[in-house]
Structure 1
């Protein structure tokens, strides 16, 4: 590494700390890595060190870094028409919406484009309220739906706290988190019966005539890759039908092949009223998100004003990127690869759980997985308390992974493993060997 390159990297870091505010962190003492290159499932820092991108950045780089088809589509659109206001119809906006609706559940009718997932959830809240004439919004405690004001109130975990006191009408309920359930259920069906009965009782106490929507991440993402038990989503759907409540599935992380299906709801054969999406629709090449609405909701707005609007709704570059990205999923058979590699990843994770006493639980569906770290398997005491890590234990574990070239992130005591859908078996095995090595250290840490 030449001195010039090293100096360049130090200048980038210095300027970043001087002029950028960095997310979710106290600003003093930060030392962000300077990244200079990314390709496929890898990225490189200013020192030339290569990292496996084992979280797909923020679970959005599903097609990997540097896909030429998407890059060219963006370049061509920039030259043709870099921007057009949302009130106009133009080719890439129409085509992107059509292609999205075509791979969505059969009941979906139209798309309202946003810039990202938080805005998608913000607008889904408004659409549900406009459509039903009701105002209360249910969401789960272990959830993250975005950091804008409405999305933060929708969020259940601690990242909502800076937005409180919150907006009236937001109500939280508990997830079917079976690993930490208060009851030892005999099977998933029994757990589903319990959690659906609890939710039904809460609906009755809050007033069904006041509840516009129930929001839920189809598969809970950052808060631990919590996969719904058998029958749970159908139970929520039935409650929504019974009480005329909109079922809104947040697929910002779980959508776009991450679980091996276009949308995670396909695993459980349900049709929500609204689906919010972002991330994998363009894989971050250009920001884009949106709200898919059912045909019934779309028809409602034929005669009723849609009080939603954004300067960059349906941005041409984002729509061009979405068209190309959807084509890449199909041409490179990435949903199929997500399923295949997901089976292999699941086997690796189960082996890690057997081998390492620090692993309390592993959860996985497609290439969407989490490793839950504990101090003791019997008591299930987490390696760090919920919402707090005073000794920076998880930071140390992430640091060890990073030093070996494995890049990911954690939420509380859970390590996220969600590589790009392009990953090969050899790459997956090599990366998870690093995880195995680091978990040896964690085993010794808790001894």
Structure 2
């Protein structure tokens, strides 16, 4: 009887996993449709944009990224680029780079191009948030002719490559909701997808499958959540799910009005700083509008780097109680007025962390039960894998295959690699918890 009960519980969990994958497909379709349907006329008037690039050891990609942004169409009088280097690079550099540092490269680019400015964060113990906050503090000094109320900082990474019409889409979105202070662009994670062909067979498939899973997460989770939180904070749709959701802010593709940033800066000494900031913004009921355009970023080029990146990201939802205490301390009046909602947002974030921890454990359980009980479990498990991977194939067909042919054999191999990714997914989360219990936080910087 106990064994049968265990079997029934496994079947129920598998059915719920299949249902979850089905709804993820629906959300992916909606996200893709939202991006593809963005073809209306572009208005002529627009605010000032300063593209902000916080960098640390980015010699390989910085100049290419700066040149890419300089070529993007926008009013030349209203677009500038700000590179923020940090003293940490000189402290940690040792003998790794014998030639030009990012600091000297940024200085050279600022001297060569009139639209490029360089700012150096003078402390060696800061994080990315400190560089971003430093650029906010120095805004009036750097751009004395610009109004904070009519200027947006557009934060990107040194490897970012947004769509060529991103600023036109921003102009259109801004014209529709000119009072909105924050616009979030999401990202594909396929920029270096084909560079993985140089790896050995196993690493190549693993890294490609990971880049697709990461992009699947953006379309099935990040974009829908941004829209839900915007609908609640703007008063469009106040459902219970929208009430309990926080916006997963990401610091590449983040357009924020400078006057708002001067009031609500990024939390220092915390990582991931962008998710923390998104939690605060959600608690303060500040709408974050989705920008229907895509950035394209790189994913780590080794399994170890993937592991450390995921371990660092896991802290985002897992440490939400820390975010709640921060809001309570620094935004006391708002906390008192919205205590229940802030608690609910915090608990739902913890649920995200639990879901992350359980993903691989459930897949291991399903596989073991398949060997124990045979075809009923295997049929459901195969159906679950198909439903899960279908979302990845939708992304391949929409954003990758149109530019580079991917044959059936590669799709078939990626399908099975995706199963390995599911088995791997929770391991970095357990590692992150283990490090936290030892009093150490995983702080990851993806080296390129």
TM-score by length of 2: 0.25
Structure with the larger strand share: 1
Greater share of helix residues, 1 or 2? Answer: 2
Q: If the length of structure 1 is used for normalisation, what is the TM-score? A: 0.25
